[in-house]
Amino acid sequence: MSRFAPAIEIGPKIQRHIPEKEILWGNQDGDCNHFPVGLETITERKFSDTPMHLKAFGRAVSEAQERVWIVDEYLLMPGEKKRDSAEKVKQKIQSRIATILQWFPLTLVASDIRFLTKHHAEIEESDLEQFQKLVQDINNHSVRRRTRCNIEIRTHLTQKFDFIHDRFAIIDDELWHFGGTVGGFHAKVSAASRGWRASDHGAIEFFKMAWDAGVKK
Amino acid sequence: MTVQWPSERKAANQPPFANDTFKTEADFRLFLDVFPEGLPTAFGESVDWVVQESGDVAALEQRIAVVCNQVNLHTLPDSTYLLMTLVCAAALSQDPSLETWKKVRTLKSHSWQLEHWLANAMVAYATKNTDARKAYITLATIIFKALDNCTLASQWDRTNQQRSQARDSWMECQNKLDEIWWGLRGWDFMNYQEEHPLFYLLSEFAPDEFIKTISESGNPYLVHSILIEAGVGGFCPRFSQWGKLAIAAPLAFEQDGTWNGSVLVPLLLVEAHAQLLQATRDIPAFDAFSEDVSKIKQEIASAIESVVSTLGARQDSLPLYARWSTWLMRQLLSYSEKDINDVCSGAFVDDALIEAIGRKLKGQSTVAISPSDAPTWEAWCYRCVLASHAHSDFINPQDSAGFLAEWAISLDEWAGKKGQRLRERASLVVTMGKETPGVAANLLAYPIVRSESPTEAWIGLWDATQTLREIVEFGDADVPDDEYQSRSEAGKLMLLVFRIGLAIFDQRASQCKNSDSPQARSQAQLHGALAAAIREMREIDDTLNRDEWLGIVRHSAVRRFIWDEQTAANNKPNHVAIFHASDTPTFSDYLKAANSDAVELVALVQSLLLNDCDIPRLDVELRSALIDLSDVVDMVERLNRYSSRRYPMDKTQMQGIRNAFQSLAST
């Protein structure tokens, strides 16, 4: 195909500064950059009903300027224990969602929030509606907001796109990689790394491909 | 010269890989020559044992050891296994039935030698025994039918499960042709590996019977696996084999482009595409020698010509070209113009194939529109195919009236069939493009450019999309819970409409002789309409599309600057004059609008520098708009110090801007 017209370029989007690469482990104090020390620390977290998330991740989300994209089958579904009753599971889901909601302050600048997860029968519509309520609050909070905030949750992972093992998050231009649940909720010893430039590793295109494999929930 | 796939030629030029553990057909022939008087009686008894009783492979080995003793074969290397494999080959010849095959299959699954040598042993055995040849052809046909109607299961549960899942998903699949184009995602051709030797033989001994047999199957997974074994793809692809099948395969498409469900031809097309793509992967990603690159380009071009010419001999070549090139276009639209010219990119092959197909269409009557069985995405992709052929002067451009009418929808129609069809047809185009205006918008614009009054046509298109803009602004009243989704979706469609307008502008720019010409006046009018469209959309679209519109302002401003009569007067090469200084919006209007946003102003200046703009004239424009660029750069740097996350900055870019204007001051 011959050229239609001379190419007119416009300046590429300016990339944000990416923090230094870092590896973090979840612990009950928030996070640390070394393996947990001592069996007591490990067991305390393992048997906790509410393992503390990575504070650094929550902070990064709250400071996002453009996008928060998360790919994780179990983002909204906490790990169940065999003895957990249905009521207990429900409580855990509520607690997980409440924690995630806290990552998004009303002053959030980012507008493009997307969670790509899988369907869990335990999570009800009313649970997800809390995110839409949050979006309304964020949009109402700032009258001069340039772009309306939007949180979209798609649940077609495994069903329509069953190719992902690890979990990832892209906050603005930074790629986070998680061994366990995004945000560091996993009760067992699990690490996350940050400080990767998403565009250098094709993360944005990959996310879009996974995202476009399904439709809006 | 014999036509070969690039990878086939490459393999042929490499020294043969010798490995004694794999016995060839020649090895077996030599072994058979050890028995000039014929095989010993004990051999026949072993054959009878396999046919009538059989058992585990150890029992067969014991029997073979006895035969070896009888004829004193111990001095010959691997004689036991060679003989054992020949026994199985003879058994299949003696009783070419499903039962015997199952027995041999069990034996070979417990013997590395049988597994890997059986096919060559059968070929060698058949060369010495014409009845064996016929028997193998019969057997392969029986086995194929048994696999096709699922009466022959694999020995392995996992394989049976995968075959069954594939069959189920095929039955449920709505767009079966798409699934073939995608290359039968998730399917492993090794799932029919147990029967591979038979199909190799069938393709070699009875090519016509082979084609007839596989043509009758509607199971693309089975046919695909067999094609690999027959040398159409896989590890030893042969163009000759592909060509024979491509000519002889049954009709797959009706004259209007409808696919009749025959899987063989689409599978062959996918394989040809894979072979061509493979050639691009042989080029090193970095520091490739230009001689190597041009050699590979030539090889690809020659292979493409052979593929398209071979297909041209088919009775259904025109509809086949139409459906295949639509799929190729779908792939192409996800790439940038730069990718299309990059031989390492898949887009290079897709584009070259579409061009080669276009050449064959010269003087032919093409399929006018996508057929009714085609999925919704095909309509506009095929439109792009035809536009591409027209752009290359292979056919006349198609009429735009139907395309333009698709956009005129009422509020009631948005949620109805017409609105849904518009969204579905556009969905690929709006999500795939990475550039502005981009390949898709240029292709969709081309027939409009060739129409009588492109500017009026685009303004008419924009006016016809009033409903879409209402949805962008207020949402869809019928879906109040999902207002954002409707707004965002309609906004994306408006972006496409705009890009088509920008593409019309770009394509017509070179036709303008001077700013007073009727073409230039029409272009100036179009630019005015485009600028008004941007203003409107920036007012009403606060979804995620908003940033796109911001970038589009820069596109429009840069065009206003570089095609101004003053730029042309300054003798900038390739810059024709389109705009009078007074044509609105002027470049100064763009500067004034951006003046309140230092980051945006810097981005605009940077964009102009990227296009090798006339810096002294830019300086004059900035001064007349009372903008001190040095202050603006300072402001951006201050903002970046305040919050580098909120106000990201490229230091090199800032320095580049400073340098450009400092050098101007020093001269």
Looking at residues B52-80, what average pLDDT do you find?
A: 83
Res A215: pLDDT: 67
- Give B397 to chain A, closest Cα distance, Å: 14
Phi, psi angles (nearest 5°) of residue B423: -65, -40
Three-state secondary structure string covering B325-364: HHHHHHHHCCCCHHHHCCCCCHHHHHHHHHHHHHHHHCCC
Domain contains A177: yes
Sequence letter at residue B398 = Q
3-state percent helix, strand, coil for chain A, nearest multiple of 5: 30, 20, 50
The Cβ of residue B662 has, within 10 Å, a number of other Cβ atoms equal to: 12
Q: In which band, very low, low, confident or very high, does the pLDDT at B569 lie, cut at 50, 70 and 90?
A: low
Q: Which chain B residues are Cβ-neighbours of A148 within 8 angstroms?
A: 484, 542-543
CB B658 within 8 A of CB B648: no
**Separation in Å, CA of B392 to nearest CA in chain A:** 7
Domain count, chain A: 1
The two tokens of residue B80 are 């036991």
Q: Cβ(B471)–Cβ(B414) under 8 Å?
A: yes
Average pLDDT, chain B: 90
Q: Is the pLDDT of residue B1 over 70?
A: no
Q: What is the pLDDT of residue B568?
A: 65
Task: Give the Cβ contact number of residue B518 at 10 Å.
Answer: 9
CATH of the domain at A56: 3.30.870
Chain A residues whose CB is inside 8 A of the B650 CB are 14-15
Instruction: Give pLDDT < 70 ranges for chain A.
Output: 80-82, 215-217
Average pLDDT over residues B236-240: 91
Tens digit of pLDDT for each residue in B626-660? 999 999 999 999 999 999 888 999 999 899 898 88
Nearest beta carbon to residue A8 from set B442, B559, B603: B559
B507, B546, B610: residue with CB nearest A146:
B546
DSSP, collapsed to helix, strand or coil, labels residue B107 as helix
* B483 and A CB contact within 8 Å: no
Closest to B536 in 3D by CA, of B631, B322, B528, B385: B528
Inter-chain touch B431–A15, beta carbons under 8 Å: no
Position B487: which residue type? R
Q: From CA A197, how far away is CA A18, in angstroms rounded?
A: 7
Closest Cα to residue A118, out of A77, A148, A78?
A77
Q: How confident is the model at residue B515 (pLDDT cuts 50, 70, 90)?
A: confident
pTM over 0.90: no
> Does the distance separating the beta carbons of A9 and B611 come in below 8 Å?
yes
Of A2, A10, A150, the CB nearest to B607: A10
Q: What is the pLDDT of residue B284?
A: 75
According to DSSP, residue B251 is labeled P
Does the residue A113 lie in any domain? yes
Q: Which of B609, B626, B620, B521 is nearest to B562 (CA)?
A: B609
Lookup: tokens for A116: 């790509």
CA angle B115, B117, B122 (to 5 degrees): 110
Residue partners of B414: CB distance under 8 A and separation at least 6: B467, B468, B471, B476, B478, B486, B490
Under an 8 A CB cutoff, do B510 and A5 touch?
yes
| Token code pair at residue B193 | 């590996």
Alpha-carbon distance of A34 to B445, in angstroms, equals: 57
Give the ipTM of the model, two decimals please: 0.82
**A104 falls within a domain:** yes
pLDDT band at B23 (very low <50, low <70, confident <90, very high): confident
Tokens 């190719």: give the residue. A163
Cβ atoms B434, B495 nearer than 8 A: no
pLDDT value at residue B481: 65
Identify whether A4 is part of a domain.
no
pLDDT at B491 over 80: yes
Q: Report the percentage of chain B scoring pLDDT > 70.
A: 97
SS3 A192: strand
Q: Which residues constitute the domain of residue A187?
A: 22-212
Cis peptide before B36 (omega within 30 of 0): no
Dihedrals phi, psi of A168, to nearest 5 degrees = -140, 160
Record the tokens describing residue B339, joined without a space: 């990718």
- Determine contact: A137 vs chain B, CB below 8 A: no
Pull the structure tokens for residue B245: 């099948």
A133: closest chain B residue by CA: B481
Q: Which residues of chain A have a CB within 8 Å of the CB of B574? A: 6
Best of B534, B544, B559, B611 to mutate (most A CBs within 10 Å, chain A): B544
pLDDT on residue B575: 64
State how far the Cα of B275 lies from the Cα of B266, in Å rounded to an integer: 14
The answer for B 560-619 residues in CB contact with A (under 8 A) is 562, 574, 603, 606-607, 610-611
pLDDT digits (tens, 9 = 90+) for B253-309: 999 999 999 999 999 999 999 999 998 887 776 777 778 888 889 999 999 999 999
Q: Which residue of A has its CA nearest to B547?
A: A147
In chain B, % of residues over pLDDT 90:
65
Contact between residue B214 and residue B223 where contact means Cβ atoms under 8 Å apart: yes
> Running DSSP on this structure, what letter comes out for residue B581?
T
> Distance (Å) from the C-alpha of residue B603 to the closest C-alpha of chain A?
6
pLDDT, average across residues B476-498: 85
Scanning the structure block, which residue is given the tokens 């309609």?
Answer: B490
Domain presence at residue A70: yes
Report d(CA B502, CA A26) in Å as an integer: 51
Contact B601, B595 (CB under 8 A): yes
Q: Which chain B residues are closer than 8 Å to A16 by Cβ? A: 644-645, 648
Residues A116 and A207: beta-carbon distance below 8 Å: yes
Per the domain annotation, does A123 fall within a domain? yes
By the 8 A CB rule, do B108 and B115 touch?
Answer: yes
Mean pLDDT across B90-117: 94
